[in-house]
Amino acid sequence: MHLLTHEDQIVAAIRQIIRAVDLHSRKLVNGHGFTGPQLAVLQEAQRLGSASPKAIARAVHLSQATVSGILQRLERRELILRKPSANDKRSVMIEISPQGEQVLQASPSLLQDRFRDALSSLEEWERLQILSTLQRVAGLMDAEHLEASPHLTPGEIPGDEEELPSPVPPTAPPSSINLNEPC
């Protein structure tokens, strides 16, 4: 039997995390027709009620250009509404549409939401230890200089530009991922 070195076990654990994020993202796209950032923007539009694209971008920690593209796709699918700002007619405000509300009711929670819930159940010292270790890992991978949002998705890589299929009808069972399940 071949025993893995600690280094190999660490690399394997990182790979498991990457696979879990990728699997969740694929289930979200295939089962509901959304990427993680698209769902996050739609959720934020619902939470804010009526907000500028800039406010939504700030809230979801994505660039304005990325959020602008996401909003265009959500508007084409009639999930959001663009309305002139009452204060400045040159500006628009984003609101979720009734169809967008229905889609959110049928959509799964985002992976980072479930992960945050699991993390919040840990003692503070455990959370700090995990944070410190992951920051060190990012440094070892020369990744500490990379921009990152608190969204567990494969990345904002050229945004979210590709068109995705429409979500499956609400009768389809919601996809889910169990953080305790092996990848």
* Other Cβ atoms within 10 Å of 57 Cβ, number: 21
Residue 41: which of 9, 74, 12, 8 has the closest Cα? 74
Whether this model's pTM surpasses 0.95: no
Residue ranges and CATH numbers for the domains of the chain are: 6-140 (1.10.10.10)
Q: What is the pLDDT of residues 13-63, one digit of tens each?
A: 999 998 988 888 888 888 888 888 899 999 999 999 999 999 999 999 889
Alpha-carbon gap, residue 42 to 99, rounded angstroms: 11
Instruction: Convert the pLDDT of each residue in 117-157 to its tens digit.
Output: 999 999 999 999 999 999 999 899 988 777 766 666 665 44
Q: Is 121 helix (H, G, I), strand (E, B) or coil?
A: coil
CB-neighbour burial class of residue 5 (10 A; exposed 0-12, middle 13-18, buried 19+): exposed
Would you state the structure tokens that stand for residue 37, as one six-digit string?
């950032």
Of 66, 48, 79, nearest to 155 (Cα)? 66
User: What are residue 147's phi and psi, to 5 degrees?
Assistant: -70, 140
Is residue 148 classed exposed, middle or buried when 0-12, 13-18 and 19+ CB atoms within 10 A define those classes? exposed
Distance of alpha carbon 176 from alpha carbon 80, whole angstroms: 25
State how far the Cα of 83 lies from the Cα of 165, in Å rounded to an integer. Answer: 26
